[in-house]
Amino acid sequence: MTYNTIQELADSVPVEAPSFRTELPDSVVKSAARTIQILEFIDHVRRDVSGSEVAAALNYPASSTSALLRSMVTMGYLQHDRETRAYRLTRRTGLLGAWVDPSLVRRGTLVNLADSLAGLVGETVLLTRRNELSVQIIYVADGGTNPAVPMPGEQHCVSRSAPGMALLAMSNDRELRGLIARINADRPANAPLIDGADYATRLGEGRRRGSYTGPGIGPGTASVARQLRHSAVGDMLVMSVEGPTGRMSDRLNEVSTLLGGALSRLAG
């Protein structure tokens, strides 16, 4: 058999699971090292993996492997598919260390778009993803005029902000009912119940507009959020613009138009 390109030849060679060295010096904290090795293993095989596969490949006890995987999902570095029980890396892992070499990493299309938009509107631009019942920030582009800017890694209840609404709107009706029921069951004692029918109506209005407005993630902020529609985006991602409520309330339509135009160019 002949191959037309080097890539075709490379693709024809089966990739064997790596045999990682799991012996660690006494000075290394095992849980920390194992967390890094799990990320390295998934990055090597470049596909979804099961917990049992990770435990077998890395020679870890099944119980501690499950605990580590659950913790990494909670922190937003892994995504768990409840139906297939598989794990995959999230976009948050790809943004770690982006500041080390901006010319190679940080200037990627999506992050560069967030930075440019923040400079244009003079407000904070966030990239967020849904992590179970939370909206998690994975990237922040600060426009330089906001007193309180959220930090990457922060997680907030997914139902309490415009970015969260945009993320929940990606769920179908059955999934949404289940998520609202879980949010209500897990809410703090002082948090009000969410009216599922009213919330679904608000999401429907956002779907028709193509944008979602409401509270921002930062305290005292308002936000405009739009879903990312791009073939290269693996997670469910949302880009939003937020700023102090008094300033944003007069320019929600303007910001929504600018945000929509930016994401349309990205999708194209």
Q: How many domains does the chain have?
A: 2
Whether the Cβ atoms of residue 218 and residue 149 lie closer than 8 Å to each other: yes
**Which tokens belong to 111?**
């992050």
83 and 130 co-located in one domain: no
Q: Please report, as a single letter, which amino acid is at residue 230.
A: H
Whether the Cβ atoms of residue 93 and residue 77 lie closer than 8 Å to each other: yes
Who's near 147: CB < 8 A, 6+ residues apart? Answer: 244
Which of 65, 89, 113 lies at the terminal end of a domain, its last residue? 89
Nearest CA to 81 among 231, 236, 239, 238? 236
28 and 121 co-located in one domain: no
Among 15-19, 128-132, 154-158, 239-243, name the most confident range: 239-243
At residue 88, φ and ψ (nearest 5 deg) are -140, 160
Nearest CA to 20 among 47, 51, 45, 50? 45
What CATH number corresponds to the domain at position 125? 3.30.450.40
**In this structure, is residue 1 part of a structural domain?**
no
Which of 89, 109, 144 lies at the terminal end of a domain, its last residue? 89
Tens digits of per-residue pLDDT, 27-77? 667 778 888 888 888 877 878 999 999 999 888 899 989 999 999 998 889
38 and 113 co-located in one domain: no
**In this structure, is residue 180 part of a structural domain?**
yes
107 and 232 co-located in one domain: yes
Residue 107, pLDDT score: 54
At residue 135, φ and ψ (nearest 5 deg) are -100, 125
- Of 3-7, 56-60, 100-104, 186-190, least confident by mean pLDDT is 3-7
Whether the Cβ atoms of residue 243 and residue 216 lie closer than 8 Å to each other: yes
Domain that holds residue 36: 6-89
The residue written with tokens 């560069």 in the block is: 112
Cβ burial of 139 (10 Å; 0-12, 13-18, 19+) is buried
Q: Could you give the CA distance from residue 226 to residue 257 in angstroms, rounded to a whole number?
A: 10
**pLDDT level of residue 1 (50, 70, 90 thresholds):** very low
Q: Could you give the CA distance from residue 18 to residue 250 in angstroms, rounded to a whole number?
A: 56
